[in-house]
């Protein structure tokens, strides 16, 4: 999977593009698929939503929002999570059942985006549309759409936040000692976040501003299997023991999300290394509190409510027999095709801009205001 060069202006330019390429035999009443028109499906149809295991709060929230939002829009919602064990096989089975049960659109938050091509093809063959949600599904041209926050930009913002946080808080001039973490290797987003961050950080490593003391700068070395906090904490413990003996200072850590950020901070504190500048993502409640307390440096606001709303809006367009609206047709190549995407804009959040960043997220705004 390759994330092609991102051009913000192309987003706007592509918005109005009417995309072709959807199968003619989908949507129902075309009587054998000779008609190239997409004809939609019954308003009360079943919509499948297959979500991964609950590795961060956003996945928990998404399930509830999909159930409520789809039912409110008049569909039958079939929302399922893959359990934490045997997740890939369970998710494959869940998608297969959704196809068998006649779901007209299947929205998938992939556990492992490399292992769903067969199920996505089966969905297409059965006349259903497939939308990849938040995580891209790779190596299949049967995938219709991708809806996500622009995850490459998330990585860019995280890299920049690490540099800004170091300048603000390290208490000394460069060079800064840092370590790099990435997400689970089975999640297509992990490389996208990491590549986005490295686009910003690599020049600072090359010019000596940043010193990755462990020398571990390859994504395989930085991975956090399963997005599990304990795996990040163990790796940080090992790095501190191996590379930060004596009075070697740890100034900052690139963390791809909030769950891992808190684990990394716990490790540093337990090792007596103080509070390094640590980035995050997801605006989890505990991390927003930590940011307001001046501990975690940053997070990202990817408002799940907006993303679910956008996905349901796409379902509505397909139901009416229209193409789903997209705003990007060049950034997310899944190895088989560039997937027509609707990308939302992620927002960096630090203590300084938290009130503004969460102006439309009442539950988080309340937390921010409680620190005033």
Where does this chain bind ligand BGC (CB under 6 A)?
A: 55-56, 58-59, 134-135, 183, 187, 189, 227, 257, 281-282
Smaller CB separation from ligand BGC, 75 or 227 = 227
Helix (H, G, I), strand (E, B) or coil at 71: helix
* DSSP structure string for 285-332: HHHHHHHHTTSS-EEEE--HHHHHHHHHHHHHHHHTTPPPP-SBSSSE
Q: Cβ of residue 180: shortest distance to ligand BGC, in angstroms?
A: 16
* DSSP structure string for 143-186: --EEEEE-HHHHHHHHHHHHHHHHHHHSSSPSPEEEEE----TT
Smaller CB separation from ligand BGC, 134 or 179 = 134
**Other C-beta atoms lying within 10 Å of the C-beta of residue 206:** 9
Looking from the CA of 365 toward its CB, the CA atoms found within 13 Å total 9
Q: Cβ of residue 29: shortest distance to ligand BGC, in angstroms?
A: 37
Peptide bond into 139 cis (omega under 30): no
Smaller CB separation from ligand BGC, 51 or 95 = 51
- Phi, psi for 350 (deg, rounded to 5): -125, 175
Smaller CB separation from ligand BGC, 78 or 282 = 282
State how far the Cα of 129 lies from the Cα of 143, in Å rounded to an integer.
8
Q: Cβ of residue 177: shortest distance to ligand BGC, in angstroms?
A: 25
Query: Which tokens hold the place of 182?
Result: 């990435």
Smaller CB separation from ligand BGC, 129 or 227 = 227
Helix (H, G, I), strand (E, B) or coil at 14: helix
Smaller CB separation from ligand BGC, 60 or 73 = 60
Q: Cβ of residue 56: shortest distance to ligand BGC, in angstroms?
A: 4
The region, left, alpha or beta by phi > 0 then psi within -120 to 50, assigned to residue 37 is: beta
Smaller CB separation from ligand BGC, 69 or 280 = 280
Q: Cβ of residue 196: shortest distance to ligand BGC, in angstroms?
A: 12
**Other C-beta atoms lying within 10 Å of the C-beta of residue 24:** 14
Q: Cβ of residue 27: shortest distance to ligand BGC, in angstroms?
A: 30
Q: Cβ of residue 331: shortest distance to ligand BGC, in angstroms?
A: 15
Q: Cβ of residue 55: shortest distance to ligand BGC, in angstroms?
A: 3
Q: Cβ of residue 253: shortest distance to ligand BGC, in angstroms?
A: 16
State how far the Cα of 283 lies from the Cα of 278, in Å rounded to an integer.
14
Closest-CA residue to 181 (of 171, 163, 169, 193): 193
Which neighbouring-strand residues pair with 81? 51
Smaller CB separation from ligand BGC, 179 or 186 = 186
Smaller CB separation from ligand BGC, 87 or 281 = 281
């Amino acid at each position: 999977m390759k994330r092609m060069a991102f051009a913000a202006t192309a987003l706007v330019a592509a918005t109005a593009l009417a995309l072709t390429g959807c199968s003619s035999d989908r949507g129902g009443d075309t009587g054998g698929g000779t008609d190239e028109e997409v004809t939609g499906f019954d308003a009360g149809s079943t919509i499948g939503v297959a979500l991964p295991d609950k590795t961060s709060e956003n996945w928990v929230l998404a399930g509830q929002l999909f159930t409520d939002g789809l039912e409110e829009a008049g569909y039958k919602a079939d929302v399922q999570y893959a359990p934490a064990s045997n997740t890939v096989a369970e998710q494959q089975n869940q998608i297969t059942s959704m196809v068998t049960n006649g779901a007209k659109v299947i929205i998938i938050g992939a556990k492992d985006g490399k292992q769903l091509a067969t199920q996505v093809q089966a969905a297409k063959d059965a006349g259903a549309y497939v939308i990849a949600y938040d995580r891209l599904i790779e190596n299949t041209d049967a995938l219709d759409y991708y809806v996500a926050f622009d995850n490459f930009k998330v990585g860019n913002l995280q890299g920049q936040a690490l540099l800004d946080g170091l300048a603000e808080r390290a208490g000394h001039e460069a060079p800064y000692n840092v370590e790099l973490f990435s997400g689970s290797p089975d999640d297509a987003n992990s490389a996208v976040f990491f590549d986005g961050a490295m686009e910003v950080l690599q020049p600072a490593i090359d010019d000596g501003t940043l010193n990755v003391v462990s020398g571990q700068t390859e994504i395989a070395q930085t991975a956090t299997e399963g997005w599990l906090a304990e795996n990040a904490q163990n790796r940080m413990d090992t790095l501190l023991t191996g590379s930060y003996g004596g009075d070697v200072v740890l100034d900052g850590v690139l963390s791809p999300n909030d769950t891992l950020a808190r684990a990394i901070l716990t490790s540093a504190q337990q090792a007596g290394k103080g509070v390094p500048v640590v980035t995050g993502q997801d605006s989890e409640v505990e991390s927003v509190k930590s940011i307001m307390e001046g501990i975690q440096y940053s997070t990202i606001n990817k408002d799940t409510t907006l993303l679910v709303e956008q996905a349901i809006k796409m379902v509505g367009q397909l139901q009416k027999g229209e193409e789903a609206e997209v705003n990007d047709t060049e950034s997310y190549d899944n190895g088989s095709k560039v997937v027509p995407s609707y990308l939302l804009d992620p927002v960096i959040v630090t203590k300084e801009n938290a009130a503004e960043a969460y102006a439309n997220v009442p539950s988080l705004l309340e937390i921010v205001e409680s620190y005033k």
